[in-house]
Amino acid sequence: MADKAVSRRQCANAIRALSMDAVQKARSGHPGAPMGMADIAEVLWNDFYQHNPGNPGWFNRDRFVLSNGHGSMLIYSLLHLTGYDLAIEELQQFRQLGSKTPGHPEYGYTPGVETTTGPLGQGLANAVGMAIAEKTLAAQFNRDGHEVVDHHSYAFVGDGCLMEGISHEVCSLAGTLNLGKLIVFYDDNGISIDGEIDQWFADDTGKRFAAYGWQVLSVDGHDPDAIGSAIEQARLESSRPSLISCKTIIGFGSPNKQGTAATHGAPLGDDEIAATRAALDWPHAAFVIPVEIKQAWDATEKGFSAESAWKEKLVCYEEEYPELAMELVRRIKGQLPGHFSAKADAYISQCQQSADDIASRKASQNCIEAFASLLPELIGGSADLTGSNLTTWSGSTPISERANGNYIYFGVREFGMTAIATGIALHGGFVPYTATFLIFMEYARNAVRMAALMKQQSILVYTHDSIGQGEDGPTHQPVEQLASLRITPNMSLWRPCDHVETAVAWKAALERHDGPTALVFSRQTLVHQQRNEEQLAGIPRGAYILRDCEGEPEIIVMATGSEVAICAEAIATLQSEGIKARLVSIPSVDVFESQDVAYRESVLPPAVRKRLAVEAGAVDCWRKLVGLDGKVIGMESFGESAPGPVLMEHFGFSANNVVDTAKSLL
């Protein structure tokens, strides 16, 4: 600590005061957790946490995640006190529109906040992803005497985080992967919103984590010396993640409310705050931090020195390993290699020339084979469906076998997998991809939403994309999932119709840096579509004319994925009967809608009001493209159990039905 005359308790009380004052001013919030965890945070941030308030993005900083994000005033207090660009006025505007202090920590709003933590447990999952990224990147780049990637991932969690099932998924995997630089602090205060938790959460948490393969330590969460000793012990353990179970009193310092649910999610009230100030011997006015306490917290000089020392290490590393250093910097910046785009385009042209009829999941694997060799930052895996999702390539090396690998066997953990991938993306240095059946996106739905909310580049590979999945029946056949993904802000979705569109979709996902991309692939074989150069150039624009007629069309048929080939057959029939019909392939609705008006109207002329959309999914999202005079052939029920081709015919996905429906429009 900078000033020994200032006690640890005074420093911790600064957090307590700021937290209760901000919540009271907002008349909304959660003062209990920040007040209860203040002593733990003080020891960690003042004695161990490696960071630079002057440069929140310094790459070799430790990562700190407040998974119990409702206690957001804890991290806002820490950031303000240690010198980040978070003025006291921002704390006074807690939970207000336009402030840097939203109700839960949000990535991109507040300097120093590493991830958005609203839904409980996902911050913990993100921290596991960060720890995976650190360990793997260190193994790929560090050399003897040159540890240029060397930092810890710390997470604070509450009872709610550990009740959520995602905590089991990710902590089980963390133990299996020996993430020794992951240290989690459990705020064991025995209270949640409904009161004392022993009625609904009686787990032996220590034994649970020991069974995962973690080091488990227990301390009094209000004893700084014990907390410091536990952190030191956790940092010495290199092969196991550590759980430090901290027995705390929620709302510590509040004479009449501490230890009760009354401090959890509501302001203390003016009278209780006055009583708390007296109990804590904190005579200062609201939002006033004495200079000596602020100086004791200030980490700007220490942070600048830490980053400067690391930069010196990086210079020495660059002198001995110039190519590695250049590659590391490129990956830290999130830049693709300069040659990638041209080589990807060459591969796309190769796919067009090959004319292969293959399932798009196999086409996806071919793309991974082609692109992963160009992009060492690509890391990913499947939720126990590697052989079905087809997500490995010839250079795949499991990180469970070699620390410097590039493939993760996630096990049956769709939710945890997706949130871990977001943590990897947030850490930097990698482009993560994950895979499962499209229907099991539902298990991961909230993690998908959080990736989109934070605009993180995460590639979501979803196979077995429709009722064409077949015999496994409606439990495995997606219907509403495409629509759900399409209406998610910041999400891009591609459902390609053949190998060529699959390659374009993968390239788009790899080049997109402002949100996740869902790549949706078929189990069944898809027919290769012939194209000219103009049509090939139209694929990256999300939609293009695949089959056209002479003059203005009487009807436009639009389709995605496996239904494109069905519609191509139907178009041929319609044209043979003298009907001017156009087929538009729309592999990505959102990309098409982002194009300029002139292009969109060249593909879908407003004057042509007879339109038919065909997709083996929910119909509602197509209404805006077909208009009032159009129709949609889609799914308006769940599926059935039968062979895929039988189901496609049964639900109307046949050339004959497309022809009949088109004629009915005319």
Per the structure block, which two tokens stand in for 146?
């040159």
Q: Residue 462 class from Cβ within 10 Å (0-12 exposed, 13-18 middle, 19+ buried)?
A: buried
Band of residue 102 on the pLDDT scale cut at 50, 70, 90: very high
Which DSSP letter does residue 409 get?
E
Strand-pair partners of 433: 380, 459
Pick from 3-7, 160-164, 481-485, 608-612: least confident:
3-7
Confidence band of 1 (pLDDT split at 50, 70, 90): very low
Task: Locate 298 and state its tokens.
Answer: 């200030």
Mean of pLDDT values over 39-58: 98
For residues 347 and 355, give the distance between their C-alpha atoms in angstroms, rounded to a whole number.
13
Nearest to 189 by CA among 125, 239, 260, 132: 260
Asked if residues 433 and 365 have their Cβ atoms less than 8 Å apart, the reply is no
Predicted confidence band of residue 2 (pLDDT cuts 50, 70, 90): very low
The span from the CA of 246 to the CA of 223, in Å, is 10
Residue 593, Cα to own-chain centre: how many angstroms? 24
Report, as an integer, the average pLDDT of 248-260: 98
Cα distance between residue 59 and residue 279, in whole Å = 41
Residue 450 CB contacts under 8 Å (≥ 6 apart), including other chains: 116, 118, 119, 122, 419, 422
Adjacent-strand bridge partners of 408:
381
Q: Counting every residue, how long is the chain?
A: 666
Query: Tell me: the pLDDT tens digits for 4-18?
Result: 579 999 999 999 999
SS3 sequence, 544-570? EEEECCCCCCCEEEEECCCHHHHHHHH
| Average confidence (pLDDT) over 585-605 | 98
Helix (H, G, I), strand (E, B) or coil at 226: helix
Phi, psi dihedrals of residue 579, rounded to the nearest 5°: -90, 130
Q: Which of 272, 414, 501, 615 is catalytic?
A: 414
- Tell me the one-letter amino acid at 319: E
Residue 294: pLDDT above 70?
A: yes
Contact status, residue 534 vs residue 484, Cβ threshold 8 Å: no
Residues 6+ apart with CB under 8 A from 242: 182, 183, 184, 214, 215, 216, 217, 233, 234
Give DSSP secondary structure letters for 116-155.
Answer: ---STTHHHHHHHHHHHHHHHHHHHH-BTTB--S---EEE
Per-residue HEC secondary structure of 22-64 comes to HHHHHCCCCCHHHHHHHHHHHHHHHHCCCCCCCCCCCCCCCEE
Measure the CA angle with vertex 38, ends 33 and 42; round to 5°.
150
Pairing of strands 63-66, 555-559: unpaired
User: What's residue 5's pLDDT?
Assistant: 75
Q: Taking residues 364-391, what's their average pLDDT?
A: 98
pLDDT digits (tens, 9 = 90+) for 308-343: 999 999 999 999 999 999 999 999 999 999 999 999
pLDDT band, residue 463 (cuts 50/70/90):
very high
Arithmetic mean of pLDDT over the chain: 97
Residue 616 has pLDDT above 90, yes or no: yes
pLDDT band at 243; cut points 50, 70, 90: very high
Please indicate, yes or no, whether the overall pTM of this predicted structure exceeds 0.85.
yes
Closest CA to 163 of 201, 195, 129: 201
For residue 649, indicate whether it is catalytic. no
Residues 6+ apart with CB under 8 A from 109: 100, 102
